[in-house]
Amino acid sequence: MTLRVLVADDEAPARRRLVRLLGAMGDVAVVGEAADGREAAERIDALAPDLVLLDVRMPIMDGFEVVGAVGVDHMPATVFVTAYDEHALRAFEVRALDYLLKPVAPARLREAVERARTRRAAPSALASLVAATAGRYLRRILVHDDRGAHLLPVDAIALARAERNYVVLHTARGAFRVRGTIGALAERLDPATFLRVNRSDVVRLDAIRELQPWSHGDYRIVLGDGSALLWSRRYRAQTAGAFELG
């Protein structure tokens, strides 16, 4: 599977060199470039790359401010690329995958890229194993938090909501962000327990506190925590017969 990379550096020659080195590697695609910190944060959010090569000293926001703006938990695999070695400890405190000094040696860049590829493949392999042993429907999903990776029981999920190339799983313990589509997840959840209510949301039936008639055949769903979402007429039609709402 192709590794999607964003290159963020305020120096155009440095960006061009990194892009050239990446281009010589197999199954790597540079999906975007950024010339300052704000642009880097915006493109990380918009493009959801698998890996970002991030300069430390950039205009508007430095590399660490980019991580802060995006959020450590929401950052893709990050390799800091800089001319300064004094930031290495701080880089690993924000969970950087690697720290490369300019001028970047091609072998070191290749090593960092392979580490990113391995990190992406390992959770996918474990998730596939979990799915394979769980029967037709998922029982657990691999998630990450400050303590590392662990298996989240799907019964703990109150709401799954699409967010670009990710799905955010809302639970009593907090929210977990996993890569994938809401459609693919919905297909692996037991329809006796979960309901797809619109293009973006899947809700656990036991988490619903109240159903309110809304407009044009839609319903307003109120969850146990008081949050509300819409059950659209289109998705109601797809579950015809499952509920008697009058």
Per-domain residue ranges of the chain: 3-126, 134-238
Cβ distance 205 to 215 under 8 Å?
A: no
DSSP letter at 55 equals -
Q: Is the pLDDT of residue 38 over 60?
A: yes
Residue 11 token pair:
């120096």
| Gap between the Cα atoms of 161 and 180, Å rounded | 11
Confidence of residue 239 (pLDDT cuts 50, 70, 90): low
Radius of gyration of the chain from its Cα atoms, rounded to whole angstroms: 21
The strand pairing partners of 91, in sequence order, are: none
Compute the average pLDDT of residues 49-70.
Answer: 95
pTM: 0.56
Cβ distance 8 to 34 under 8 Å?
A: yes
CATH superfamily of 134-238: LytTr DNA-binding domain (2.40.50.1020)
Cβ distance 78 to 52 under 8 Å?
A: yes
Q: Is the pLDDT of residue 134 over 60?
A: no
Q: Is the pLDDT of residue 129 over 60?
A: no
The strand pairing partners of 222, in sequence order, are: 210, 228
| pLDDT confidence of residue 246 | 42
3-class SS string, 78-143: EEEEECCCCCHHHHHHCCCCEEEECCCCHHHHHHHHHHHHHHHHHHHHHHHHHHHCCCCCCCEEEE
| pLDDT confidence of residue 240 | 53
| Gap between the Cα atoms of 80 and 226, Å rounded | 41
Most confident of 199-203, 223-227, 235-239: 199-203
Length, in residues, of the chain: 246
Q: What is the mean pLDDT of the chain?
A: 86
φ, ψ dihedrals at 98, nearest 5°: -160, 170
We find that the CATH architecture of domain 3-126 is 3-Layer(aba) Sandwich (3.40)
Residue 126 token pair:
């474990």
Rama region for 208: left / alpha / beta (φ>0; ψ in -120 to 50; rest): beta
Q: Is the pLDDT of residue 181 over 50?
A: yes
Query: Residue 155's closest CA among 135, 136, 175, 141?
Result: 141
DSSP string, 176-193: EEEES-HHHHHHTS-TTT
Compute the average pLDDT of residues 195-208.
Answer: 94
| pLDDT confidence of residue 125 | 44
Instruction: Judge if 3-126 and 134-238 fold alike in CATH terms.
Output: no
